[in-house]
Structure 1
Amino acid sequence: MQKEKAEHEAQKAVGLVPRVGALAARVGLDWFLLALLAMIGLAYLWPEFGIDREPVSLGDVAGYGVSLIFFFYGLRLSLEKLKAGLSSWRLHMVVQLSTFLLFPLLVLPLHSFFEGTEYELLWLGSFYVAALPSTVSSAVVMVAIAGGNMPAAIFNASISSILGIFITPLWMGLFLSASNTADFEMGDVLGKLVLQVLVPVILGILLNSRWGSFAEKHKKKLRYFDQIIILTIVYTSFCESFERDMFSAFGWQDILLLSIAMLLLFFLAFLLINLLSRLFGFKREDRITAIFCGSKKSLVHGTVMSKVLFPDANMVGIILLPIMVYHALQLLVSSMMAQRMGRAEVRELESGS
């Protein structure tokens, strides 16, 4: 009897695993977000491994991984697809101006409130979020779920990633060049970005015709590689910050307020982009593409570019905290919105037929 009861309990536990996984996925807690939290916890418990250069430097490994990430990105970027997306120029202007102008202008006025305080680095990290390009994969996925303009979504996400290589450092240079916490030289940073980011992207694009199909075929495995490199960067960055006790001034209340601020930033941008789209008279498909591509921010670019933009490794963990929070919240909220829009489109089609 006890044996049967034990087997029954075991079966219930096994059956609970997929339900828990499904519930976690529904609220945006995929394995990668959980892994990010685990890396922060590991860095807190064991910072020495992320700092030591013997027997191998994880920071150097992550640096080489950054170049490979952008090479594989370029390898999957077809020039034909980019040319095909050029026609909807008004939509592209709204998305790119929202990404690189609207967002920074929403955060920029708050600088005077935090300048010289213990929260200035958190503000700088929030401004870094605002200056980052849009995501590629999640933006396109959300547009697809909501029933938006897919070719335009692919075009805008791809162009945003390339423009971000130049525009993000220019925005950050306004504050890092005058900061006492970072030895920032725009010429050196742009030189590193060209060698570590732009050259691999261009090389990948040039080799697209030869190896592009291979990259598309294995894009799921390449995405896992991207995520492993990002996790390594997050781990090493937080190791430096924990080792130097950079988080001692922040409590859980500060993280909660940061989360609320990032959520407000997302909703404000989302509403303003939606308003602009309606003023321009965009049809439903283009409006969906504008709000989802324009409101997303890339954790991939945020983590990999941090290794070049912020020479002071001690502060990188704090700088990355806002983009990690924003990334989790944007997945949670936009996935719910996209599914609701997708269901509304289905109802419209059914009522019309």
Structure 2
Amino acid sequence: MRRLLTRLPIDPYLLGLLATVGAAFLFPARDRGAEVADVVTYAAIVLLFFLYGARLSPTNVVQGISHWRLQGFVLLLSFVLFPVLGLILTLALRNVVDGTLLMGLMFVCVLPSTVQSSIAFTSIARGNVAAALCSASVSNLLGVVLTPLLVGLLMNAHGAALSLDSLKDIALQLVAPFAAGQLLRPWINSWLSRHRGILGYVDRGSILLVVYGAFSHGVVSGVWQQVGLEDLGVIILLDSLLLAIVLSASAYLSRRFGFEKEDEIAIVFCGSKKSMASGIPMANILFQGMPVGLIVLPLMLFHQLQLFACAAIARRYASRRPTEETPVAPAQASLRA
């Protein structure tokens, strides 16, 4: 079965997400089961962010953060360009598309970048891996603060507001375990390095639990009856449009501002991606009492679109001729070694 999955022209994790959504529709958690699922999901999120903190090397952060122009450029793409585009689209379509789905689209635009896939694609494309690691990590750290603030600033018109309880929940569920992971890293890093495969399953399993909980709540409350195929098609088109605009803008502007090819690659992959791993846990906190399953649907669709698009772009970058390359930075060379 494992060999069969690896041969399919589709990400196996996408199959897992689809299977989880199907399980939520067929066997939604109700009553006591829903309470247990909420506790398990909360614990999974805490574990997920603890592992993020434990695996982030302070040395790599120092190496990458020294490239301040690149880091600032990626942050502008993630937390300025994306929100502006999202605001334009949601305001233009507020009388055409379901309001909850538009809220989800706007939520996509205020999220931080991904970590694992941004680094992986940068490495495949022979880009500046050290800068990508730092940029994606800093984006996620700042996202814990900036995403809730942007939700409160830009999404009040859609019925979402930032509250002190939300900030407290984020601090307890996301920031505290991440900080604990950083503090304990010197003692547990060697063990984590020896069990990277197991930790990968923990990462993905945690997200599957969160997805199950979000969609299960949607089934029980009946919100899915509000989604039509037309709305779903429009959201896919809008996700695709957002991704295409930011991918094009990140590549074009990085060249215009004189970044080297390796830096351009890091900018393209870090600046155009949005984190489902951070986004779904945040949605559970920020949108309590609302149809979270519907709100995160645009994010799930965007996540898969970005994987397919970036995989193709990474292969194209990787196939460039040696004469197109620029010298590899010392920090990047040490990482590759």
Query: Judging changes above 3 Å, is the alpha-carbon distance between structure 1 residues 185 and 93 closer, same or farther for their aligned structure 2 residues?
Result: closer
> 8 Å contact 2:106–2:155 — kept in the other structure?
no
Q: Distance in 1 between matches of 2:80 and 2:17?
A: 29
**Where in structure 2 are the equivalents of 1:51-90 lying within 5 Å?**
51-54=30-33, 57-90=36-69
Q: 1:245-264 to 2 correspondence within 5 Å?
A: 245-264=222-241
Asked if 1:229 is matched to 2:210, the reply is no
**How far apart in 1 are the matches of 2:310 and 2:157?**
36
Cα deviation, residue 254, structure 1: 2.2
Match of 2:242 among 265, 268, 272: 265
Say which of 152, 156, 179 aligns to 1:202: 179
Instruction: Please list, as runs of the form range in 1=range in 2, the aligned pairs for 1:286-325 lying within 5 A after superposition.
Output: 286-312=263-289, 314-325=290-301
Q: 2:15 aligns with which of 28, 34, 56?
A: 34
The residue number in structure 1 matching 2:219 is 242
Task: Please name the residue that 2:27 is paired with.
Answer: 46
Partner of 1:152: 131
CA distance, structure 2, for counterparts of residue 217 and residue 106 of structure 1: 42
Match of 1:127 among 106, 114, 119: 106
Aligned partners of 2:131, 2:172: CA distance in 1, in Å? 29
- Is the CA contact 2:105–2:299 (under 8 Å) kept in the aligned structure 1? yes
- How many angstroms apart in 1 are the aligned matches of 2:21 and 2:147? 25
Q: Could you tell me which amino acid in structure 1 is paired with residue 184 of structure 2?
A: L
CA distance in 2, matches of 1:185, 1:135: 23
For residues 25 and 140 of structure 2, the distance between their equivalents in structure 1, rounded to whole angstroms, comes to: 32
Cα distance in 2 between the residues matched to 1:256 and 1:23 = 24
Q: Which residue of 1 aligns with 2:7?
A: 22
1:59–1:95 distance in 2 versus 1, CA, 3 Å? same
Q: Please give the alpha-carbon distance, in whole angstroms, between the structure 1 residues aligned to 2:226 and 2:72.
A: 41
Distance 2:268 2:281 in 1: 25
Residues 335, 185 of structure 1: alpha-carbon distance in 2 compared, 3 angstrom cutoff: closer
Deviations 1:215-260 (Å, cap 9, x if unpaired)? 2322321121121121111112111112222122322232222112
State how far apart, in whole Å, the 2-side matches of 1:209 and 1:20 are: 37
Q: Secondary structure at the match of 2:65?
A: coil
- Once the two structures are superposed, residues 27-82 of structure 1 have per-residue CA deviations (whole angstroms, 9 ceiling, x without a partner) of xx2221111111111222222xx233249611111011111111111001121211
- Residues 67 and 197 in structure 1, CA contact (< 8 A), matched pair in contact too: yes
What is the match of residue 171 of structure 1?
150
Q: Tell me, which stretches of 5 or more residues in structure 2 are unaligned?
A: 326-337
2: CA distance between counterparts of 1:291 and 1:110? Answer: 22
Give the equivalent residue in structure 2 for 1:6. none
Deviation, 1:304, is 1.5
Residue in 2 aligned with 1:106?
85
Asked if the contact 2:87/2:154 (under 8 Å) is kept, the reply is no
Post-superposition shift, 1:140?
0.5
The alignment partner of 1:134 has SS state of coil
Specify the alignment match of 2:193 in structure 1. Answer: 216
Gaps of 5+ in 1: 1-13
Bigger shift: residues 103-112 or 52-61:
52-61
Change (3 A) 1:189 1:20: closer
Q: CA deviation at 1:348?
A: 5.2
Q: How many positions carry a matched residue from both structures? A: 325
Residues 307-328 of structure 1, C-alpha deviation per residue, up to 9 Å, x if partnerless? 211111x510001101100111
CA change 1:345–1:221 in 2 (3 A) is farther
- Counterpart Cα distance in 1 of 2:246 and 2:39: 36
**Partners of 1:175 and 1:87 in 2: how far apart?**
31
d(CA) in 2 for partners of 1:301, 1:267: 22
Within 2, Cα distance between the matches of 1:331 and 1:213?
Answer: 30
What is the letter of the counterpart of residue 250 of structure 2?
Answer: I
**What amino acid sits opposite 1:190 in the alignment?**
L
For residue 344 of structure 1, give the secondary structure of its aligned residue in structure 2: coil
Cα RMSD (Å): 2.1
